[in-house]
Amino acid sequence: MPVKVGDTAPDFTLPAQNGSSVSLSEFRGKKAVVLYFYPKDDTPGCTAESCAFRDQYEVFQSAGAEVIGVSGDSSESHQRFTAKYNLPFTLLSDKGDKVRKQYGATAAFGLFPGRVTYVIDQQGVVRFVFDSMLNFNGHVEEALKTLQQLAAK
């Protein structure tokens, strides 16, 4: 069953591009998290989406949020991808797509990796879900809008 607005975001620990392990629970009580699942490093759509997050990264940081990208690519692939496009945020390697499946971030009848973004507040509650394979910039715009609404409350 996919994770939806109002659910507590499932915790996980995955390897990052720098070799460290990152757990979602590390951010609880400290920062909101914009968690975006994307299909594959260095493909046109995923590059556009990741660069859009990069270009707004300081705005996300100012809004008290950390951006984390997740795909099934290896940590080495993520390392090359972040270096090539100067991505300032963490990319996590979800080998076997276990976390992706846990969140329900799949597309096309659950057969292919989907492009889904979750905004998770400081308490670990999902406040927004955006699911679109083709609206790359929408993931960034909608996540920022959600963070601004949360800050206004």
Q: What are the catalytic residues?
A: 46
* Whole-number Å distance between alpha carbons of 49 and 149: 22
Nearest by Cα to 115 from 80, 95, 139, 94: 139
3-state secondary structure of 60: helix
